[in-house]
Amino acid sequence: MTTDLTSSPDAARIERTYEAPPELLWELWTTTAGLEEFWGADGFETRVSDLELKPGGQVCYRMTATAPEQVAFLEDLGLPLTNEFRRTFTEIAAPTRLAYLSVIDFVPGQEPYEHLTTVDFQPRGDGSQLIMTIDPLHDEGWTRDYRDHRANELDNLARAIERRAR
């Protein structure tokens, strides 16, 4: 099921290969326990409060800065250490694709706007390839930082997969 949204022609792609089947990646991306295991950059803790996995459904979560660098960054921006976020699913195709809109409402001096992310899970031999397509943000600096944050999340996903393999 889908709504009719397409990525920007300027969208960035982040690709990773994991030693896990697409079904495991899907589980980590679409369950409360899975999301809390990896979602968020280093130095943040994520807690999911609501998850409705369907087009138009939402995942609502709180991220809390726990590391000194992230605490200082948020304090410098005048933002609280815990922030609530909501993403609205626009496409669900288990276990190969999901897409969602995020509201970018945390940038000081910037009007809130919607931002599209698409994640594709493809089998590759004994593992999977993940392709994340991220629309650009309102300027180059925020786009770069957001892309780096998402790449860090995908590194955390690799560690979550390794923990489950033990």
- What spatial distance separates the first Cα and last Cα of the chain, rounded to whole Å? 35
Closest CA to 39 of 135, 131, 150: 150
Cβ atoms of residues 71 and 55 within 8 Å: no
Tell me the pLDDT of the chain (166 aa) as tens digits: 434 477 777 888 999 999 999 999 999 999 999 999 999 888 999 999 999 999 999 999 999 999 999 999 889 988 899 989 999 999 999 999 999 999 998 788 899 999 999 999 999 999 999 999 999 999 999 999 889 989 999 999 999 999 988 7
Domain 12-39+87-165, architecture per CATH: 2-Layer Sandwich (3.30)
CA atoms within 13 A on the CB side of 98: 25
- Of 25, 6, 38, nearest in space to 120 by CA: 25
Q: Where are the domains of the chain?
A: 12-39+87-165
